[in-house]
Amino acid sequence: MGITVDVAYKSLNKYTEILCGDKVEILQTEDSNIMILADGMGSGVKANILSTLTSKILGTMFLNGATLEECVETISETLPICQVRQVAYSTFSILQVYHNGDAYLVEYDNPGCIFIRDGKLMEIPQNIREIQGKKINEYRFKVQKGDALILMSDGTIHAGVGELLNFGWLWKDIAEYAVRQYALTISAVRLAAAISRACDELYQFRPGDDTTVACMRIIDSKPVHLMTGPAKNPEDDGRMVQDFMSDPNAKTIVCGGTSATIVSRVLKKKLNVSLDYVDPEIPPIAYMDGVDLVTEGVLTLNRVVHLLRRYVKNETVSEEFFLELDKPNGASMVAKVLIEDCTEVHLYVGKAINSAYQNPGLPFDLGIRQNLVEQLKSVIEEMGKKVTVSYY
């Protein structure tokens, strides 16, 4: 199927600042994935405006096939000039990985990209071009499964400067740390969070600059099929389950007691409900041969959406967040799969109305389950993953 990527980033705001002066854009085209990291000059609101404009302009122009020269020229002529410094300035890094394995890296004044392959650091050669007076490094190369590429803002190399470290965290030391963490982590989000957490510790949890780590890992395609709710017409139960189980490579998740009973009946597999209440607010999971995860429906999905929203918000992705993600309750287990072990999601949604939590007189579109499905679809798409929905 070609190259598939796992993309994630983690940002730390400069101490006392509400807004981050770094901005990451994650985009998809028909044949590639694009990650853009922009770092606006200074910090706070001004830096946030500069980095947001830069990343949005670059993303929009790249999606529409503009050349690098056109992108840089547009940025130079568009960014508002700082009243204090009398310049308009934002650094940026662009990483585009095509499904055929081709990769394109552009770097302007950000710390160099860390490229890890087979647990070793790979050198990225200097190929400097001057565009609009700006010296820009441009590199074309091939990626393969298992590679990791890390973009950073300069807050990383300033971590600890003048306090725990005389000259900050040197690039080569960050790269060595990234190589060690690469071996210990399986997902882009864990790798980005590990490097970010180390920066935060060097800053003694009071970052002196906006600090962002954006990571892209080259992985196998990881489809997830999630089924919730019985079909409106019971005669469609068999077709719904057949579609749900159609991809032998997909991870399968069933959310809902009635849905689990239907899958059990159609597949002729025994359903065993766990008696362990590991979280008093989330009903226990169940087990069924051939299905990776079976959980309760509405309460579990509601917590899943909450966890995914925290993940998308980014600043709440802390060590405590990962501890919650690793808990053995149904919601954390579903959220963990969707965040760390998934590249695309197919939702199989039954339109039957459950009178236990919805007035049977109301249409399905106004129901709790439909609302949760829409929220789930939206937040997964915000994570940069493809979502398709089939209704029955």
In order along its 392 residues, the chain shows pLDDT tens digits of 578 999 999 999 999 999 999 999 999 888 899 999 999 988 889 899 999 999 999 999 988 888 888 998 888 888 776 666 666 688 999 999 999 999 999 999 999 999 999 999 999 988 999 888 888 999 999 999 999 999 999 999 999 887 777 677 999 999 999 999 999 988 899 999 999 999 999 999 999 999 999 999 999 889 999 999 999 899 999 999 999 999 999 999 999 999 999 999 999 999 999 888 888 899 999 999 999 999 999 999 999 999 999 998 866 677 888 999 999 999 999 999 999 999 999 999 998 876 555 555 545 444 688 889 999 999 999 888 889 999 99
pLDDT of residue 218: 95
Given a contact cutoff of 8 angstroms between Cβ atoms, the answer to whether 142 and 172 are in contact is no
Residue type, 34: I
Count other C-beta atoms under 10 Å from residue 313's C-beta.
11
Given a contact cutoff of 8 angstroms between Cβ atoms, the answer to whether 363 and 373 are in contact is no
Distance CA 381, CA 31 (A): 17
Per-residue pLDDT of 128-149, as tens digits, reads 998 888 889 999 999 999 999 9
Backbone angles phi, psi at 144, to 5 degrees: -140, 165
Count other C-beta atoms under 10 Å from residue 28's C-beta.
14
pLDDT of residue 21: 93
pLDDT of residue 223: 95
Q: Is 365 left (phi over 0), alpha (psi -120 to 50) or beta?
A: alpha
Spatial CA neighbour of 163 closest among 117, 226, 194, 206: 206
Q: Which two tokens stand for residue 4?
A: 């598939």
Count other C-beta atoms under 10 Å from residue 233's C-beta.
13
Residue type, 305: V
pLDDT of residue 41: 87
Distance CA 116, CA 149 (A): 6
What is the pTM (predicted TM-score) of this model? 0.87
Distance CA 237, CA 229 (A): 10
Q: Within its chain, how far is the Cα of 214 from the centroid? A: 10
pLDDT of residue 204: 92
Domains assigned to the chain: 4-219 (3.60.40.10), 223-391 (no CATH)
pLDDT of residue 288: 96
Distance CA 26, CA 214 (A): 10
Backbone angles phi, psi at 221, to 5 degrees: -65, 135
Which is it for the CA torsion 143, 336, 223, 7, positive or negative? negative
